[in-house]
Amino acid sequence: MMRFLLLFSRQGKLRLQKWFTPVTDREKKKVIRDMMMLVLARPPRSCNFLHFRDLKIVYRRYASLYFCAGLENQDNELLGLEVLHRYVELLDKYFGNVCELDIIFNFEKAYFILDEFLMGGEVVETSKVAVSVSMEEADTLQETMEEYMSKPAY
C-alpha cells in the first residue's frame, strides 16, 4: 500500500499531502522535509526510486511539480510510477492541460480527484473514464445543492 503521497514544487513548496496511515503532525513535517531534501537533490535522468527508512520512494517530476509516493517494501515500484502517471492524467483531464497553478488555486479539487482514484493507499478505480464521470457527477451534485440553497454562486 501507499503510505503517503506528496506534491511539491522545485522551490520546496508543498502543494498536496495525503497520508494513508496515522502520522503525528511533527512526523509529517519531518517526512516532508526529508523527502524534499532527498528528491530535490537528485540529478535529472536519475533512477526514480529511492530508499528512505523502510520504504521505497517513487518519484517523478512533471513540469514544475514533483510527485512523490512512499511505498511499502513488497509494492511494485514500476506500477507505482504508473499510479503517479495516472493521477497526473486524471488531473489533466479534469483541469484541461493542468499546470501547477491549477493545483494551487483548486487544491480541494485535486484532493477530491485523488480520493476517487486512491483510497486507503490502494487504487480504487482503474478506469480513467470512470473517475472522470464520478467527478463530474459529484461536482454537479455540489452545484445543484448550492443553487437549491440559493447561496451566492461561487
Q: Site residues (CB under 8 A) for another protein?
A: 14-17, 20, 22-24, 29, 43, 45-51, 74, 76-79, 81-83, 86, 104-105, 107-108, 111-112, 115, 119-120, 122-130, 134, 137-138, 141-142, 145-146, 149, 151-152, 154
Minimum CB separation of residue 5 from another protein in Å reads 12
CB of 97 to another protein, least distance (A): 19
Of 63 and 139, nearer to another protein (C-beta) is 139
* Spatial distance between the Cα atoms of 85 and 77, rounded to a whole number of angstroms: 13
Task: Output the smallest distance, CB 20 to another protein, in A.
Answer: 7
Report the residue number, 97 or 127, with the smaller CB distance to another protein: 127
| Min dist. Cβ of residue 135 to another protein (A) | 10
Of residues 74 and 97, the one with the C-beta less far from another protein = 74
